[in-house]
Amino acid sequence: MKYTQLGRTGLKVSRLTLGTMNFGPQTGEAESHAIMDAALDAGINFFDTANVYGWGENKGRTEEIIGTWFAQGGGRRDKTVIATKVYGNMSADGEAAWPNHDRLSAVSIRRAVEASLKRLGTDHIDVYQFHHIDRNTPFEEIWQAVDVLVQQGKVLYAGSSNFPGYKIAQANETAARRGSLGLVSEQCLYNLAERRAEMEVIPAAREYGLGVIPWSPLHGGLLGGTLKKEVQGGRRASGRAADALADPAVRARVQAYEDLLDKHGLEPGEVALAWLLTRPGVTGPIVGPRTADQLASALRAVDLELDGELLTALDEIFPGPGPSPEAFAW
């Protein structure tokens, strides 16, 4: 495994981040534990989760599964950099949140962190991430709550997820005025097929020293050889990938992508991950394996070298927006 610093911090994390969103809803506890063991054995030390994972009536279940894995000992907790998130309504789907039981008020943050610590079975969270912007809570209040948690040793670093560039700037300018460290990472939707983050989010993250942690690196399976799997009678695209493939132009680009990699004898999913690892500012994409085989495929991407010719060809199939602000200013 290869490692890098998380943004401007001294925290060293793996170039792949283990996403745990499938643990509980799609992958049982025993297999989830086996995947985490395999990830740790392979050198992945950065695990990502969220308080709402488990979904439906089982929100929090994913954190509990990680907690029972930590409880097995063997240095699991000490070797893991655990990142979780706060913002979402923890009531069952369809039920309204009780006042102050979601979003980013100081009251909500305090309640949420205590609940996550209990489910995870740990005394601290390494990277505590804001899952979404809260338009109703000023950053002065958010940082006041986080600073208390840092002083108590319950949180070490703060990160963001799904923040636009201007909110990254606003958050860190507010933190600087308080003498606080501010955001050290940003999780954003970013992959070959979805490059809008290059317009503002990634430039802001790089300017303020945030590590970029792309989620959905295969765009919901779109970049994982989905058309070839269709032909072979395998699992059909669903969700984000199915919506994208409904556009004939997107389908043509995906076909060109798969044809290009077939010519080079490369696996599409591994190339999609390897491409992200070449991007400036990227710490490491989140991989969310449902099985041990999917984890093994992701691990191969870390050592996959993409030459200049292939990178140029990928840009031609999935062109980015171009540098900011030139891409939209003139």
Are the C-beta atoms of 24 and 65 separated by less than 8 Å? yes
CA-to-CA distance for 268 and 256, rounded, in angstroms?
A: 11
Respond yes or no on whether the N-terminal peptide bond of residue 138 is cis (omega within 30° of 0): no
Buried b (16+ CB within 10 A) or exposed e, 208-219: bbbbbbbbbbbb
Do 199 and 321 contact (CB within 8 A), yes or no?
A: yes
Give me the catalytic one of 53, 87, 157, 190.
Answer: 53
Quickly count helices (H) and strands (E) in the chain: 14, 10
208 is catalytic: no
CA distance 195 to 192: 6
Q: Are 150 and 156 within 8 A, CB to CB?
A: yes
Q: What is the CA radius of gyration of the chain?
A: 20
Active-site residue list = 53
